[in-house]
């Protein structure tokens, strides 16, 4: 019954974003300073639609969680502008995976409003009520990833820190590779995917309010049973896009 309620909630609230012509976000995505490698990924990632849906605006202070090499951090840098800030956050596992990617992206102060932060979630203490928004792009399942070289993450504890770091009313947007409903968290290791229902359940437990979902990155031809890195589906997985909000007033 819980799964049915969650599925109906997603369907009922599902909505794509409608962008104003020549929006700040569209201009950020079109910025010629962006690396060509990033631009080549835009057609599958649809960053303009995603960031419009997540209500990212100029002047915001944004936390980019498990940001990898900083694909989204760079776009966010252009969107929030000189009055805003972006925290490009990776744990040691992600930092090792991307190698010199972040340093190269930020070299010579080319993104002056972006700060790279590397720390394990257990050690990270964000400033309370400091972020207007947080993004968790393709990395939420990594909260449940288990490997010898990857320190175990206390998912509930880390989400509590993120919750505290958001200003009241702040948005947290999640994009991840969708797994079949009802599968266990073990697919975080085997497929690098997650059941969207688990995201809804965990985020609700953490105190976040479900706002809505977008169909922008859906791919019905993906049967959700292959690893996200499988050559036949890489970059084209069926992805869930869900928006949550920290309540404007504490209960």
CB 17 within 8 A of CB 49: yes
Q: Residue ranges of the chain with pLDDT lower than 70? A: 1-22, 250-251
Tokens of residue 163, six digits: 């919750």
Pairing of strands 209-214, 61-65: unpaired
CA distance 151 to 31: 37
Give the model's pLDDT for residue 251: 56
Tokens of residue 78, six digits: 């252009």
CA distance 1 to 5: 6
Place of tokens 């976000």: 25
Give the model's pLDDT for residue 11: 43
Which of 66, 80, 78, 84 is closest to 29 using CA atoms?
78
Q: From start to end of the chain, where are the E strands?
A: 61-65, 85-90, 114-118, 131-137, 166-177, 209-214, 239-245
Residue 231, burial from CB neighbour count under 10 angstroms (0-12, 13-18, 19+): exposed
DSSP string, 62-118: EEEET-TT-HHHHHHHHHH-TT-EEEEEE-HHHHHHHTTHHHHHHGGGSSTTEEEEE
C-alpha distances (whole Å) from 162 to each of 39, 64, 122, 133, 204 are: 29, 11, 12, 10, 13
CA distance 88 to 107: 14
Give the model's pLDDT for residue 22: 63
Give the model's pLDDT for residue 218: 96
Give the model's pLDDT for residue 15: 43
Tokens of residue 248, six digits: 């404007």
* Class of the CATH-defined domain 2-34+46-245: alpha beta
């Amino acid at each position: 019954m819980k799964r049915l309620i969650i599925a109906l909630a997603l369907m009922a609230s599902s909505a794509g974003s409608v962008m104003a012509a020549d929006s700040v976000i569209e201009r950020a995505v079109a910025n010629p300073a962006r690396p060509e490698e990033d631009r080549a990924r835009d057609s599958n990632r649809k960053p303009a639609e995603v960031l419009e849906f997540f209500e990212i605006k100029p002047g915001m202070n944004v936390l980019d969680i498990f940001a990898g090499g900083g694909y989204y951090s760079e776009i966010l840098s252009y969107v929030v502008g000189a009055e805003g800030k972006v925290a490009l956050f990776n744990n040691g596992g992600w930092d090792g995976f991307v190698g010199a990617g972040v340093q190269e992206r930020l070299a010579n102060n080319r993104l002056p409003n972006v700060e790279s932060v590397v720390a394990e979630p257990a050690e990270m203490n964000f400033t309370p009520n400091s972020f207007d928004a947080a993004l968790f792009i393709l990395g939420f399942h990594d909260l449940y990833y288990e490997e010898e070289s990857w320190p175990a993450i206390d998912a509930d504890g880390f989400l509590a820190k993120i919750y505290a770091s958001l200003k009241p009313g702040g948005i947290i947007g999640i994009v991840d590779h969708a797994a079949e409903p009802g599968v266990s968290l073990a697919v975080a290791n085997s497929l690098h995917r997650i059941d969207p229902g688990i995201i809804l359940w965990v985020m609700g437990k953490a105190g976040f309010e479900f706002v809505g979902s977008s169909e922008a990155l859906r791919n019905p031809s993906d049967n959700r049973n292959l690893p996200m890195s499988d050559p036949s589906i890489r970059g084209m997985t069926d992805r869930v896009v869900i928006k949550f909000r920290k309540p404007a007033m504490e209960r």
